[in-house]
Amino acid sequence: GLVGCSLSTPDSVGTIGDVDITSGLYLLAQFDAYQTAADLASDEQDASKVSSFLKATITVDDATGETAVVSDYVAQKTLENLESYAAIETRFDALGGVLTPDEEAQADSYASQLMEQNGDLYKANGIGLDTLKRFERILIKSSDLLTLCYGTDGETPVSDAELTSHLEDDMVYIRYTVIPLYNTSTFAFADDDQSTQMLELAQTAAESYNAAVPADAAAQTSAFGAAVSAALPDIYAVLDGTPSSDAASLSTALLGAADIDSTFSEEGAADAVRALKPGEAAAVQYSGYALMLLVRLDPLEADTLDTLRAQALSDMKSSELQDSIQSFGASLPHALDTAAMKKLPASKIQNTQSDQ
């Protein structure tokens, strides 16, 4: 019986372009497609019941109300995943990309971690360590394509002037500290009045700093840090707490437009951060459980273009690159074996999570 099962599983389901699509890679693409569908399941739908969920209908676009039968959606997303993998490998090779030994070691390490964390689930779905290693290499190649396509020596390089303009106009560089809306010793949460009082104290600290903003980024950071240190004891005292020795330590973040919206989830917070001019500080409710005191800095006064280049290039060109990869993958010759793919049906997926 085991021999018969082995013989019935194809080694490959064909090619896209010159890229061989192994059965393991196909199963991984299909499994990821199913997880994407599961994330769209309604509260009444149970994605752990694979057979019934595949027959269900999900909303795939809230804005338009577009729906799809899960089995059709999974089939389409599986193909798109495979096209993306093939496009990445093809473009990477065409542009002379070579993974460094460190990148290969990193890919292997990530794959091993995935197998350690979810090995039983992957194995139940026919996905082995070699497939995960290949997949992790594809992810690294995708990241490297940003430089190969748009880097200084890339296929269509982004000029330093364009990158500088994007950094200054479309991204926000901040130094900040996060203030929890709970007592860090007792974990008692602030009520609405206490949260309001803590936010007002933090805003007073920001306004105090803004009254005399220094001229350069280094001085701005120092002055802002001093304002934070002075304000924290009173803010923590609202919940009968005291700040830790490192509570006033400032962290750094460079945020793109999408990052700002996802980072500052509370209403109005993202807009308040965007509205800051370099050198200005603000206090906002960062999330349901924390405040943030922050100062916006001129990124190229606080850091160098070369240091920020990779992140700025990613923010500027990742979406364009992804679109071009998907389009290129769809245009490659497809020589997929329908009979082989039928031996690896989505109905055989083992899924332990009950939707979101």
Query: What are 50-109's pLDDT values in tens digits?
Result: 999 999 999 999 999 999 999 999 999 999 999 999 999 999 999 999 999 999 999 999
Strand partners, 335: 15
Measured CA distances, 256 to 16, 168, 221, 280, 327 (Å): 34, 11, 21, 18, 25
pLDDT tens, position by position, 119-160: 999 999 999 999 999 999 999 999 999 999 999 999 999 999
What CA–CA distance (Å, rounded) separates 289 from 291? 7
Q: Name the nearest CA neighbour of 34 among 340, 349, 338, 330.
A: 349
pTM score, whole prediction? 0.84
Question: Other CB atoms closer than 10 Å to residue 297's CB: what's the count?
Answer: 25
The token pair that represents 317 in the structure block:
């060109």
Q: How far, in Å, are 134, 136, 310 from residue 104 at the CA level?
A: 10, 9, 20
Q: What CA–CA distances, in Å, run from 143 to 93, 208, 237, 287, 299?
A: 14, 42, 45, 30, 23
